[in-house]
């Protein structure tokens, strides 16, 4: 049995398919992937699938409903956006994103915003 040959061939196919996937990913797809899976909980879980903002949780306080919201992040300046990602907050997890990843996220979110405006 030359089992190891099969194993070697299979792992070669597996590794090359991973590499192929990566190089065929467009900038848009890459940015979207990053938004949903930024090495931590996806931004979309709190900020909504296009950064439009969303209610994360609600609770009752003295009989009144109180909402905890993640703000819309599709209209910020690049500066505000980047700064928010490097400060720590009580509600938002801390991420360790590179500058280029932040830029991809920023363009993903503002691109959506621009196309929304264009449709109106």
Which residues lie near ligand HEC (CB under 6 A)? 38, 41, 43, 45-47, 56, 70-71, 73, 76, 80-81, 84-85, 89, 91-93, 95, 105
Cβ proximity to ligand HEC: between 36 and 116 the closer is: 36
To which H or E segment does residue 4 belong? helix 3-24
Please report how close the Cβ of residue 58 comes to ligand HEC at its closest, in angstroms.
13
Cβ proximity to ligand HEC: between 25 and 78 the closer is: 78
Please report how close the Cβ of residue 119 comes to ligand HEC at its closest, in angstroms.
23
Cβ proximity to ligand HEC: between 83 and 116 the closer is: 83
Please report how close the Cβ of residue 74 comes to ligand HEC at its closest, in angstroms.
10
């Amino acid at each position: 049995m030359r089992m190891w040959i099969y194993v070697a061939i299979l792992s070669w196919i597996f590794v090359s398919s991973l590499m192929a996937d990566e190089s065929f990913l467009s900038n848009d797809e890459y940015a979207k992937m990053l938004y949903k899976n930024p090495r931590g909980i996806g931004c979309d879980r709190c900020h909504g699938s296009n950064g439009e903002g969303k209610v994360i949780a609600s609770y009752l306080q003295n009989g009144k409903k109180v909402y905890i919201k993640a703000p819309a992040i599709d209209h910020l300046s690049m500066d505000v956006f980047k700064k928010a990602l490097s400060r720590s907050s009580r509600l938002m997890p801390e991420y360790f994103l590179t500058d280029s990843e932040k830029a991809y996220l920023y363009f993903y979110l503002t691109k959506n915003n621009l196309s929304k405006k264009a449709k109106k």
